[in-house]
Structure 1
Amino acid sequence: MADTPTIFTKTSAFSLAGVLAVGLVAYLGSKVFLPKNARWQDRYTFIWLAFDALIHFVFEGSFLWLSVFGRQVNISTGPFAEMWREYAAADFRWGVADPTVVALELLTVLGAGPLCCYILKQLANDDPARHYWLIVLSTAELYGGWMTFCPEWLTGSPNLNTSNALHFWVYLALMNTIWVFIPLWLMYDSYTHIAGALRSKQSSYKNKAA
């Protein structure tokens, strides 16, 4: 009888515990840097941006380091290499330093990560200009996700392995779709603020001209 494939491993536990730890740090950061009377939308936005920045810097930053300076994840050593090898079991491109993936991660780690931190500063200062940058960031996140997976789908997904339930539903589905739905929500929330402010300004000009 063939052995039943292992779904959950020590590396799985290490990886998911790391994500939960990042989420906890992001939540505690919102408690420290935002006033207690902050809008619930702003509090959730702060938590997401802090979580987003840490994921980009710590997790994806480690992938970038291993792929650029260690040549690729599959021949590297250490806990982050083990973590990325597990993800690469679901999407093989991450194990071999696929140039498209590495190029996107360069933009993500060096661009989106610092932008998250800048918007966090704006949130802490209650600067309404953050809404413009939230739309810029969210657009970049959506584009990055699209360019990560669309070329793969168009070629029949030769690098995706969906046979492991944890890898498919958590690593591929959950961990990627949250970077779709949350940016879309942020774009909608920021649009209402920007459009509302512009319409109010336009109305005041019309009233003065009348």
Structure 2
Amino acid sequence: MVLQTSEPPTLFTATSAYSLAAVAFIGFVAKTAAGALLPKSTRWQDKFAFIWLAFDAMIHFCFEGSFLYLSTFGRSVNTSDGPFAELWKEYTRADFRWGVSDPTVVSLEILTVLGAGPLCCYILYQLVRGDPARHYWIVVLSTAELYGGWMTFCPEWLTGSPNLDTSNALYLYVYLIFMNVIWVFIPVWLMYDSYNHIAVSLRLARGAAAVSKKD
């Protein structure tokens, strides 16, 4: 089932331009922060992780935080006004649930804004300090974000996607796929990188313990 819109989709609107500009600015701030706070000798994987986590935190707090505010204190996106309300109204063209304060979506966003956002900041602090314990928390964060994405879309798929409009490339490939798939591939890569660090450290510790027993 596909929801029909009363107006033909516009490929690029003023809201789209402002939203993309805001995302680009957030990415610039994240990259600038990485260059200012991380040592020059930091390996590229950790620099990338810092930029992503800083970007991730700001998206959670600014964009998703505004959705959570509008959906709790403002009742819903569709009944609210302002720049953030317009941003989310644009997204609701592809996924109707974000405009009506769907309980499942709001519940997931509570965990995202109040849980994942602060955890991103904590991992950033660990990255700056060079604390290897960050790898555990990266796995926790990435698992939570993958689960959040699954629970956002799996109920729709199982019920025939009644709230999703995939009738054109803009909605399907930009709003639904591109704006969500990066929160799948990057967390998976982060988990893989952190798993390698944890596994190597544990094997080295086991080897050192075996050597000390022989001595």
- Which TM bucket (shorter chain)? over 0.9
Pick closer, same or farther for the CA change 1:101–1:78 going to 2, 3 Å: same
The separation in 2 between residues aligned to 1:66 and 1:4, in whole angstroms, is: 26
Contact 1:7 1:164 in 2 (8 A): no
Q: Secondary structure at the match of 1:74?
A: coil
Q: Paired residue for 1:161?
A: 165
The separation in 1 between residues aligned to 2:9 and 2:104, in whole angstroms, is: 30
Aligned equivalent of 1:171, options 172, 175, 182:
175
The separation in 2 between residues aligned to 1:75 and 1:39, in whole angstroms, is: 47
Q: Which amino acid aligns with 2:87?
A: M
Q: Paired residue for 2:102?
A: 98
Aligned equivalent of 1:39, options 30, 37, 43:
43
Cα offsets for 1:127-177 (capped at 9, x unmatched): 000000000000000000000000000000000011232232122101111
The separation in 2 between residues aligned to 1:21 and 1:169, in whole angstroms, is: 22
Q: Indicate the percent of aligned positions where both proteins have the same amino acid.
A: 69
The separation in 2 between residues aligned to 1:82 and 1:58, in whole angstroms, is: 14
- TM-score using structure 1 length: 0.97
Q: Which amino acid aligns with 1:193?
A: H
Contact 1:7 1:165 in 2 (8 A): no
Unaligned runs of 5+ residues in structure 1 are: none
Q: Which amino acid aligns with 1:80?
A: F
1:1-210 alignment to 2 at 5 Å? 5-210=9-214
Give runs of ≥4 in structure 1 deviating > 6 Å: none
Q: Which amino acid aligns with 2:54?
A: A
Q: Which amino acid aligns with 2:47?
A: R
Q: How many Å apart are 1:17 and its aligned residue?
A: 1.2
Q: Which amino acid aligns with 1:120?
A: L
The separation in 1 between residues aligned to 2:48 and 2:9, in whole angstroms, is: 38
- TM-score using structure 2 length: 0.94
Contact 1:71 1:97 in 2 (8 A): yes
**Does 1 or 2 have the higher relative contact order (CA < 8 Å, sep 6+)?**
2
Unaligned runs of 5+ residues in structure 2 are: 1-6
The separation in 2 between residues aligned to 1:75 and 1:25, in whole angstroms, is: 32
Q: Secondary structure at the match of 1:113?
A: helix
The separation in 2 between residues aligned to 1:152 and 1:181, in whole angstroms, is: 21
Q: How many Å apart are 1:6 and its aligned residue?
A: 1.8
C-alpha RMSD over aligned residues = 1.0
